Structure 1
Amino acid sequence: MAQPELNNEGTSRVEVALLSVIFITAGILNFGLLLVLWRRRKQLSRMHVFVFHLSVADLVVVFFQVCPQLMWHITDRFVGPDALCRAVKYLQVVGMFASTYMIVAMTVDRYQAICHPMVTFQRHRARWNVAVCAAWCVSFLGAIPQVFIFSRVEVSPGVYDCWARFISPWGSKAYVTWTTLVIYVLPVLCVIVCQVRICHAVYSSNFHFKSQQQVGKDEASRRGGSTRSCSGGWVSKARAKTVTMTVVVVLTYIICWTPFFTVQLWSVWDREAPTENATFIILMLLASLNSCANPCIYLMFSVPFPRRLVGMLCRRQYHRRESMQEEASTVSSLFINLKNLSDAKHFPASVTFLATEHGTTYYCNKV
């Protein structure tokens, strides 16, 4: 991907500030989400597995796209050897591929769960998630051209930078158009088709279920008896919730990445494109906001996440409070047993029992 040079100092400061905020926010949110999901890795559902790998992909974007871009604008030139230049450019596109195709895999999985539930139910639990592995394989393979296109070149006498070398005059147009198709256009078309079919299936199943339920009620009222209904056609609330979350993730991806790919295509197909315009540059940076939005979407649809994160970060105090409650429960049980023995007159009259239960002190005197 081409990188426009900035001559406006004010625009450069805005860009550095925006990249810094995105880097810190996305890093904290995705790292916190990974910690919570990793601690519950033995209990993760299929949807949580996709969220986990999507968070990993977002961290790749944060550390290998946002961070190098930030350092690039601070130093004005790429600082590092040729191998580092090629590695950074390769991992930048790996993150873009992974973020996109993890969303595709998530959407296809929801499509199978809603539109073909029996096939999903009969499928044995595999050790590896095939859709996740396929998404990562596509990401690592699709980014290979970056290694051969970008290198450390001398842009002026004694000045080196990490730049791309394309075959003139069609090389850059072909490459940017190809990446736009495989990273943005085709995946977006795929998820839109899946989401339309999912929404149609949800609406049809719920409408059919309500119709059957109403027919059953009418028939029962005519017979004067009770009605029974089967909920096999009804889409559960939990499954509908994951579908809604997937829709929000897809819409957020489209909103964040559409300006980026539009600007990229414009810059290579139009020689008079305002590549150094402030608006032009800021629109290219907004794509990184997707890495901040994904964990926020999961947070919005998962109520226990904040409590788990806070409890994990403060686990020492949590375990201490838990041990105190366990100790109080033990003392409470001892108090109850001793009180029962006292009522059974197994102890002399002079015995006094004292126990503490949930902060309250109890005295039991044998009369």
Structure 2
Amino acid sequence: MEEVLRAAESGAQNVSWTRENGSMLGNISANPLKRNEDVAKVEVTVLVLVLLLALTGNACVLWAVSATKRHQSRMYYFMKHLSIADLVVAVFQVLPQLIWDITFRFYGPDLLCRTVKYLQVVGMFASTYMLVLMSVDRCVAICQPLRTVDKSIDRFCVLFSWALSLIFSSPQVYIFSLREVGDGVYDCWGDFVQPWGAKAYITWMSVSIYILPVVILSVCYGLVCFKLWQNLNLKTKRGPLRAFVSRASRDAHPLSGVSSVRLVSKAKIRTVKMTFVVVLAYVVCWTPFFFVQMWSAWDPAAPREDMAFIIAMLLASLNSCCNPWIYMFFAGHLFHDLMHRLCCGCGCGCRRNPTEKHCRRRHRGTSSTYIIRNTNHGPSLAHTSSTGVQDTEEPAESHSSF
């Protein structure tokens, strides 16, 4: 997009997604034949860190989700596809940009140029739309808690989002091509036939990837906040009555130490908090980028320094690597499941029984054994002490289930 802005006067607008060698929407260098090498080194270093964090983080999330018993839940389904979209961003957007910054020029045929530009935008669309789906899902879960959603609807929404991402990215194939930017110097640049083409394209991309999704996200979380405020007022008014009912329930059922309704409510609120932080990270990372794009496209007096575009692009790239660590923070059991799977894989004190389908973990230096197993009433956590007495509790999953 930046490249479009730099060549607008000549009628050959160059659109991509980075700097002089092509940013996600345009070429941004005023002089495509040279660059600041010191700035390029910093950019390469940051992109390497972003790429490593995005690949390892999202791969760990996918592995942990596949290992956990909760992977069938709707929340985990959307998390899985958001992680896949972030991996697409890392592999097809950050990695090509890293290679491009190292070589300075695009070394490849015209078909590769068009393919790279196309895939660079697919991940952006997919990541944004998966985040919107996740937020809408949490809004429905909070505002209509008794409503059941068929899994086929979730699959359709996810597939439809991927299809939209593939379709909306198709203009990149026609805009970009391998063309001469100097005497005997070729690069992957974009071209618009009409002078207003660059403005129209940048505006379209900003609306479809940022402005419209942010509006939907704002509406969703506005409804969620209103519903939570209503529930808080309701709990405050019914506090004494609930306390009396809770005491009566404990007297009638001494083994039930917690309220299942309360646990489910806390789990939903926790997922809403996690999704909100993911949305906040998205807004923080992408707002400077699209602000710079729109400002430069519509204001002829806007500053044209490369540094502003580079910082905005690098900040936008951070979004693909911060999401998995947010998941790990709010869904701590994901990290525990991942470590447990690694532990079982390397055989360091954890063993599985394929016939009984439970996992047993023994702690060195103690005589206690914790066994997670299935009972007729569902999974339970049994603790056997050295005295041979066995105590049973509700599983930890119920406190952190999505």
Contact 2:343 2:349 in 1 (8 A): no
Pair 1:63–1:312, CA change in 2 (3 A):
same
Per residue, is there more helix in 1 or in 2?
1
The 5 A counterparts of 1:319-358 are: 321-322=350-351
Residue 3 (structure 1) aligns with: 27
Equivalent of 1:278 in 287, 307, 318: 307
User: Does 2:88 match 1:57?
Assistant: no
Aligned residues of 2:67 and 2:338 also touching (Cα < 8 A)? no
Higher mean C-alpha deviation, range 81-90 or range 47-56: 81-90
Matches within 5 A, 1:69-148: 69-118=97-146, 120-121=147-148, 123-126=149-152, 129-148=155-174
**Aligned residue among 207, 213, 220 for 1:181:** 207
| 8 Å contact from structure 1 (residues 245, 301) kept in 2 | yes
Which AA in structure 1 matches 2:133?
A: A
The number of aligned residues is 322
Q: Aligned AA for 1:108?
A: V
1:192 aligns with 2:209: no
CA separation of 1:314/1:322 partners in 2, compared to 1, >3 Å: closer, same or farther?
closer
Which of 64, 67, 71 is the aligned partner of 2:95? 67
Q: Which residue of structure 1 aligns with residue 179 of structure 2?
A: 153
CA displacement, residues 137-177 of structure 1 (integer Å, 9 cap, x when unaligned) = 22111111111111111222332211111134211011001
What's the CA shift string for 1:209-251, capped at 9, x where partnerless? Answer: 331233x379x79xxxx77899979970000001111111111
1:231 and 1:204, CA in 2 relative to 1: closer, same or farther beyond 3 A? farther
- Greater per-residue strand proportion: 2
Cα deviation code 1:162-219 (max 9, x no counterpart)? 11111342110110011101110010001101101011101202321331233x379x
Q: Which piece of structure 1 moves more, 317-326 or 193-202?
A: 317-326
Residues in 1 aligned to 2:168 and 2:130: alpha-carbon distance in whole angstroms:
14
1:109, 1:264 → 2: CA distance? 31
| In structure 2, distance between residues paired with 1:245 and 1:153 | 45
Runs of 4+ deviating beyond 4 Å: 226-235, 323-326
Contact 2:65 2:71 in 1 (8 A): no
**1:251 matched residue in structure 2:** 280
The whole-number CA distance in structure 1 between the counterparts of 2:154 and 2:130 is 15
Larger Rg: 1
Give the Cα–Cα distance (whole angstroms) in 1 for the partners of residues 150 and 54 of structure 2.
35
Greater shift in the superposed pair: 177-186 or 312-321 = 312-321
Residue 296 of structure 1 corresponds to 325
- Secondary structure of the structure 1 residue equivalent to 2:27: coil
3-state DSSP class of the match of 1:155?
strand
SS of the residue corresponding to residue 77 of structure 1 reads coil
CA–CA distance in structure 1, aligned partners of residues 126 and 205 of structure 2 = 13
User: 1:321, CA displacement in angstroms?
Assistant: 4.0
Q: Which amino acid aligns with 2:324?
A: P
The answer (yes or no) to whether the contact 1:209–1:234 under 8 Å persists in 2 is no
Give distance in 1, aligned partners of 2:314 and 2:287. 11
* Partner SS state of residue 187, structure 2: strand
Partner residue in 2 for 1:313 = 342
Report the counterpart of residue 239 of structure 1 in structure 2: 268
Q: CA deviation at 1:80?
A: 1.3
Report the AA paired with residue 26 of structure 1: A
- What is the TM-score when the length of structure 1 is the normalising length? 0.79
Q: Percentage identity across aligned positions?
A: 45
- Contact 2:71/2:77 (<8 A) preserved: no
Question: Contact 2:67/2:337 (CA < 8 Å) preserved in 1?
Answer: no
Residues 9-28 of structure 1: CA deviation (Å, up to 9, x unaligned): 21111111111111111111
* Structure 1, 154-163 or 68-77: larger mean CA deviation: 154-163
Task: Give the TM-score normalised by the residue count of structure 2.
Answer: 0.73
- Report the CA distance between 1:59 and its aligned residue: 0.7
Q: Which runs of 5+ in 1 are unaligned?
A: 333-357, 359-367
Distance 2:262 2:234 in 1: 7
Query: Are residue 45 (structure 1) and residue 73 (structure 2) matched?
Result: yes
Residues 18-43 of structure 1, C-alpha deviation per residue, up to 9 Å, x if partnerless?
Answer: 11111111111111111222334874
In 2, the alpha carbon distance for the partners of 1:137 and 1:112 equals 23
Pick from 182, 192, 199: which aligns with 1:166? Answer: 192
The Cα RMSD (Å) is 3.1
Q: Distance in 1 between matches of 2:262 and 2:350?
A: 45
Indicate if the aligned counterparts of 2:58 and 2:87 stay in contact, CA closer than 8 A: yes
CA–CA separation in structure 2 for the residues paired with 1:265 and 1:105: 26
In structure 2, the gaps of 5 or more residues are 1-24, 251-258, 354-358, 368-384, 386-402
**What secondary structure, in the 3-state scheme, does the structure 1 residue paired with 2:188 have?**
strand
Residue by residue over 1:107-144, the C-alpha shift from the partner in whole angstroms, topping out at 9 and shown as x without a partner, is 111111111223x32x4443862322222122111111
* Aligned-partner SS, 2:28: coil
SS of 1:295's equivalent in the other structure is helix
- Aligned position for 2:19: none
CA contact (8 A) 1:7 1:276 kept: no
